[in-house]
């Protein structure tokens, strides 16, 4: 009965805003059948490679289950797509229901999934979120998943030269072949492509004792690096932006996220800090990915305005913070422009609430609507 209830909710997408349509799901089992369905090969702004999973969590009020798709890399391109960029996601999923739902959700977000492989002998990763009134615990079922079986052959099959290729440390930790894939992409990138790398430290997926060294060496080869100050402390005992910059001297752009305090951007000769926006925090998962998407969008549209890039990162992060899902509704264009153009003093007093049904922006007790 429990299994039937889960499947019913998955198939009807009872609590998920994105509809599931089986006929929209590509029926490809290998790369030779995969065809690009959205963007010409020369028109990709941001491409991401990594694992996405089906996440299931209980809805305590309705005694039912909710489902969503989660994965750091696809979270980034889904948010980038919502910000108006042309995006693509490359990975491997199983030929199972979870794979159908993952592909459908990502495609319905406007992301090109034409180069995703489907493996009949591997399952799609699954995440179960156990939620109570006072506790939250996540269990992963991703060992030997289709994504963990990715190899450097995938890199050879990619015909696009995106403006930005986004990778994360999660992929490095999934398997030795995934690590080889990431390193191949970084070492053999086109001169037209900048590599964005988010450390995304997940100690539970690493079997290697040299994770800190691997992550530092790989990050140091990339153009844009995102890392949380807490992650840098855990990995390298670094407690400041200056400490991290000494460890990572090569990236042109180093972005250090300091949770609710704000974010720093170090461009070798100059540095910026923008405090985080005020607003409700329902769940922090996905906020870092949303921040990265906003920052990368700013880099592609106005790379000389780093303060704007940081602000757009914070604005986009609020979409994930204000609700339970990793990817949430963004602020409308008018609100975003207003926030980007306001003075530093106004920014510090702004309160952005993207939680539905009553989203809103407040500045010094003055309320503004958010459509």
Number of domains in the chain: 1
Give the angle subtended at the CA of 195 by the CAs of 194 and 198, to the nearest 5°: 140
- The answer to whether residue 358 is domain-embedded is no
The percent of residues in the chain predicted with pLDDT above 90, rounded, is 65
* The pLDDT of residue 22: 31
pLDDT per residue as tens digits for the range 265-286: 999 989 999 999 999 888 888 8
- The answer to whether residue 189 is domain-embedded is yes
pLDDT per residue as tens digits for the range 135-187: 778 888 888 899 999 999 988 777 778 999 999 999 999 999 999 999 999 99
pLDDT interval class at 358 (50, 70, 90): low
> What is the average pLDDT value for the chain, to the nearest integer?
85
Is 109's pLDDT higher than 70? yes
Higher per-residue pLDDT: 154 or 307: 307
* The pLDDT of residue 365: 61
The percent of residues in the chain predicted with pLDDT above 70, rounded, is 84
- The answer to whether residue 18 is domain-embedded is yes
Instruction: Tell me the sheet residues that pair with 267.
Output: none
pLDDT per residue as tens digits for the range 248-263: 999 999 999 999 999 9
CA-to-CA separations, 72 to 1, 48, 311, in angstroms, rounded: 32, 9, 20
pLDDT per residue as tens digits for the range 192-250: 899 999 999 999 899 878 999 999 999 999 999 999 999 999 999 999 999 999 999 99
- For residue 22 the two structure tokens come to 């089986």
pLDDT per residue as tens digits for the range 293-305: 999 999 999 999 9
- The answer to whether residue 370 is domain-embedded is no
User: How far apart are alpha carbons 113 and 49 in whole angstroms?
Assistant: 11
- For residue 46 the two structure tokens come to 């941001």
Is 345's pLDDT higher than 80? yes
* Total length of the chain: 371
- The answer to whether residue 136 is domain-embedded is yes
Element (H, E) at 308: helix 306-321
Domain residue limits at 33: 2-334
User: How far apart are alpha carbons 362 and 371 in whole angstroms?
Assistant: 14
- The answer to whether residue 197 is domain-embedded is yes
- The answer to whether residue 87 is domain-embedded is yes
User: How far apart are alpha carbons 113 and 238 in whole angstroms?
Assistant: 38
- The answer to whether residue 360 is domain-embedded is no
Q: What is the CATH number of the domain that holds 280?
A: 3.40.1190.20
- In the three-class reduction of DSSP (H, G, I as helix; E, B as strand; rest coil), residue 49 is classed as strand
Is 27's pLDDT higher than 50? no
């Amino acid at each position: 009965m429990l299994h039937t209830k889960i499947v019913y909710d998955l198939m009807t997408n009872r609590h998920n805003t994105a509809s599931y349509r089986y006929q929209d799901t590509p029926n490809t089992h290998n790369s030779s059948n995969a065809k690009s369905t959205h963007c010409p090969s020369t028109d990709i702004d941001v491409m991401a490679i990594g694992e996405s999973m089906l996440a299931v969590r209980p809805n305590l009020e309705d005694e039912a289950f909710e489902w969503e798709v989660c994965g750091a890399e696809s979270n980034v391109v889904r948010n980038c797509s919502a910000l108006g960029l042309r995006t693509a996601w490359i990975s491997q999923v199983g030929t199972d229901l979870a794979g159908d739902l993952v592909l459908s959700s990502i495609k319905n977000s406007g992301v090109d999934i034409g180069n995703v492989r489907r493996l009949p002998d591997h399952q799609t990763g699954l995440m179960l979120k156990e939620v109570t009134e006072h506790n939250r615990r996540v269990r992963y079922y991703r060992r030997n998943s289709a994504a963990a079986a990715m190899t450097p052959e995938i890199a050879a099959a990619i015909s696009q030269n995106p403006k930005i290729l986004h990778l994360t440390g999660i992929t490095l930790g999934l398997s030795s072949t995934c690590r080889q894939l990431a390193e191949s992409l970084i070492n053999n990138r086109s001169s037209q492509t900048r590599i964005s790398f988010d450390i995304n430290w997940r100690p539970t997926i690493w079997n290697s004792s040299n994770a800190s060294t691997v992550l530092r060496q790989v990050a140091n080869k990339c153009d844009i690096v995102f890392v949380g100050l807490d992650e840098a402390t855990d990995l390298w005992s670094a407690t400041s932006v200056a400490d991290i910059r000494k460890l990572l001297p090569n990236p042109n752009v180093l972005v250090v996220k300091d949770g609710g305090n704000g974010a720093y951007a170090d461009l070798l000769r100059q540095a910026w800090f923008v405090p985080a926006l005020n607003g409700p925090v329902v769940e922090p998962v996905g906020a870092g990915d949303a921040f990265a998407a906003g920052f990368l969008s700013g880099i592609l549209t106005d790379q000389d305005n780093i303060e704007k890039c940081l602000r757009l990162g914070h604005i986009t992060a609020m979409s994930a913070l204000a609700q339970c899902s990793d990817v949430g509704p963004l602020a409308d264009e008018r609100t975003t422009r207003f926030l980007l153009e306001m003075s530093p003093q106004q920014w510090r007093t702004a309160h952005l609430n993207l939680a539905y049904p009553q989203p809103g922006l407040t500045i010094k007790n003055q309320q503004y609507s958010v459509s």
